[in-house]
């Protein structure tokens, strides 16, 4: 089996229909590598008697299931010609019909954070439409794994060369041979445990706008400004459609993160839990000073701090010390909340430290990252990796800004 990290970005094309509305129904779904255009897998499956809308949602779910099995670490874009499904899944239209609610919930459960939805005209969705019609015509029923480039007119139809057991193996991974389990789950049995951490930086304070060093609990600890509260609310409203998938909201104990977390908690329907390990770096005697003021009075200290992650500001913490504290907090979180989706409200240094850890970059890479106030960064950690101290991880989103949020220092960052 090929490397599960082979596909960095995938496209799902999905459709569904019924002959009678309601009537005999089926869906079609295609999973493609977004960079090469290779067809990874196809699914054309009947679902009994249903409406067009139910069949379309079934196609979306079928495509997301294939992505979950065959490209578990990839970014996903979904393309459909159903305006209803695209707008509802993007959160722009409300779901009014009761029969659609559980389907949308299942699709949301399967879709990784950051999944995007694009409407396309019917003529650009012919591949998925053909699969649905082939299923209704009795030509196919189930998943075909291809994994190689294929022309749209050469869609594979299950036959003697495609044993029925493969479909069963993909649908029931616990019963699959070990080689297929390893491909589906990543690297070893048990790595299907996915813990998604949604990292939110706090909104701006007066220190942020004045570009002053602002540390953790030992600092002056300013609260959010009016702009910072507006940023936090915009971010919370952006995350609100995912509220049913969020299991816990954790915050650093610092005032500006707690105030941000309280706004998010109201919008996500969560209680706030405090984790001291996610507090900001302590800047010691630099706290409250601007960069220029530190350079003017403590140039030697500043040069040492910028030159080594092991050097601390006077009376403060080094990046290395912060790394140990933050990774200890991460381990506690992954142990206690394995398999859950966690929102963590934190600061620049801890978030950049977690990103460096996730992508296995040296700690020095924190010098080369920029992180916007009230931005969202998403990392999924996978259990069962070869090193329990360094779980395998996938960076799903970095420094994303909620639409409509004011952004300190420039326009919204994506």
Q: What is the pLDDT of residue 145?
A: 86
Question: CB-based burial of residue 186 (10 Å sphere; 0-12 exposed, 13-18 middle, 19+ buried)?
Answer: buried
> Alpha-carbon distance 60 to 8, whole Å?
20
Pairing outcome for strands 9-18 and 23-33: antiparallel
Q: What is the mean pLDDT of residues 171-179?
A: 32
Q: Indicate if the alpha-carbon torsion angle 305, 309, 315, 316 is positive or negative.
A: positive
Average pLDDT score over the chain: 83
Q: What is the pLDDT of residue 5?
A: 64
For residue 163, cis peptide bond before it (omega within 30 degrees of 0): no
370: tokens are: 């920029």
Question: CB-based burial of residue 411 (10 Å sphere; 0-12 exposed, 13-18 middle, 19+ buried)?
Answer: exposed
Q: What is the pLDDT of residue 366?
A: 93
Q: What is the mean pLDDT of residues 12-22?
A: 94
149-167 per-residue burial string, b: 16 or more CB within 10 A, e: under 16: ebeeeebbebeeebeeebb
What is the full DSSP assignment across 109-166? HHSPTT-EEEE--GGG-HHHHHHHHHHHTTS--EEEEEEE---GGG----STTS-HHH
Q: What is the pLDDT of residue 200?
A: 97
Closest-CA residue to 333 (of 393, 398, 400): 393
By annotation, the residues acting in catalysis are 202, 280
Which of 179-193, 234-248, 280-294, 393-407 is predicted least confidently? Answer: 179-193
Give 39's pLDDT tier (boundaries 50, 70, 90): very high
Q: What is the pLDDT of residue 218?
A: 67
Q: What is the mean pLDDT of residues 181-205?
A: 65
pLDDT in tens, 321-333: 999 999 999 999 9
Which of 156-160, 234-238, 351-355 is predicted least confidently? Answer: 156-160
Give 122's pLDDT tier (boundaries 50, 70, 90): very high
> Alpha-carbon distance 330 to 381, whole Å?
10
> Alpha-carbon distance 125 to 292, whole Å?
56
pLDDT in tens, 48-95: 998 999 999 999 999 999 998 888 889 999 999 999 999 999 888 888
Rg (alpha carbons) of the chain, rounded to whole number: 24
Q: What is the mean pLDDT of residues 298-304?
A: 90
- Asked whether the whole model's pTM tops 0.85, one would answer no
Q: What is the pLDDT of residue 193?
A: 75
What share of the chain in percent tops pLDDT 70?
82
Q: What is the mean pLDDT of residues 343-351?
A: 97
Q: Answer whether residue 191 shows pLDDT above 50.
A: no
Q: What is the mean pLDDT of residues 158-167?
A: 32
In the chain the first and final C-alpha atoms are separated, in Å, by 34
> Alpha-carbon distance 220 to 289, whole Å?
11
Q: What is the pLDDT of residue 389?
A: 61
pLDDT in tens, 269-296: 999 999 999 999 999 999 999 989 999 9
Q: Answer whether residue 165 shows pLDDT above 90.
A: no
Helix 226-239 and helix 255-268, axial crossing angle in degrees, nearest 10 = 40
> Alpha-carbon distance 27 to 135, whole Å?
8
CB–CB of 337/247 below 8 Å? yes
Q: What is the pLDDT of residue 99?
A: 75
Domains of the chain, each with CATH number or no CATH? 9-185 (3.30.420.10), 194-400 (3.40.50.1240)
Q: Answer whether residue 121 shows pLDDT above 60.
A: yes
Closest-CA residue to 8 (of 81, 103, 112, 84): 112
């Amino acid at each position: 089996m090929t490397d599960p990290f082979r596909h960095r970005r995938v496209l799902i094309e999905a459709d569904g229909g019924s002959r009678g509305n309601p009537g005999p129904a089926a869906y079609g779904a295609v999973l493609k590598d977004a960079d090469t255009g290779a067809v990874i897998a196809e699914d054309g499956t009947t679902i009994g008697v249903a409406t067009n809308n139910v069949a379309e949602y079934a196609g979306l779910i079928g495509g997301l299931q294939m992505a979950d099995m065959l490209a578990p670490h990839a970014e996903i874009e979904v393309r459909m010609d159903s305006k209803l499904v695209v707008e509802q899944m993007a959160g722009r239209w409300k779901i009014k019909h009761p029969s659609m609610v559980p389907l949308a919930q299942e699709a949301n459960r399967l879709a990784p954070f950051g999944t995007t939805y694009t409407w396309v005209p019917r003529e650009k969705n012919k591949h998925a439409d053909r699969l649905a019609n082939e299923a209704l015509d009795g030509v196919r029923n189930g998943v075909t794994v291809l994994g190689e480039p294929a022309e749209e007119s050469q869609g594979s139809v299950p036959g003697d060369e495609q044993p029925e057991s493969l479909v069963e193996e993909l649908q029931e991974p616990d019963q699959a041979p070990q080689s297929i389990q390893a491909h589906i789950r990543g690297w070893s049995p048990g790595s299907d445990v996915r813990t998604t951490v949604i990292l939110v930086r706090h909104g701006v304070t007066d220190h942020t706008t004045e570009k002053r060093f602002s540390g953790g609990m030992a600092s002056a600890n300013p609260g959010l400004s009016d702009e910072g509260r507006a940023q936090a609310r915009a971010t919370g409203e952006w995350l609100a459609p995912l509220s049913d998938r969020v299991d816990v909201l954790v915050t650093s104990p610092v005032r500006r993160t707690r105030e941000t977390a309280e706004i998010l908690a109201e919008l996500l329907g969560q209680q706030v839990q405090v984790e001291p390990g996610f507090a900001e770096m302590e800047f010691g005697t630099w706290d409250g000073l601007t960069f220029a003021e530190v350079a003017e009075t403590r140039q030697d200290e500043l040069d040492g701090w910028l030159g080594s992650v092991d050097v601390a500001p006077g009376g403060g913490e080094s990046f290395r010390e912060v790394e140990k504290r933050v990774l200890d907090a991460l381990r506690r979180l992954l142990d206690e909340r394995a398999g859950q989706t966690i929102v963590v409200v934190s600061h620049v240094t801890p978030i950049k430290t977690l990103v460096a850890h996730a992508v296995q970059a040296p700690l020095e890479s924190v010098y080369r990252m920029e992180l916007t106030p009230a931005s969202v960064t998403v990392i999924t950690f996978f259990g069962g990796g070869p090193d329990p101290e360094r779980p395998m991880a996938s960076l799903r989103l970095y420094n994303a800004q909620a639409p409509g949020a004011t952004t300190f220092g420039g326009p919204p960052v994506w």
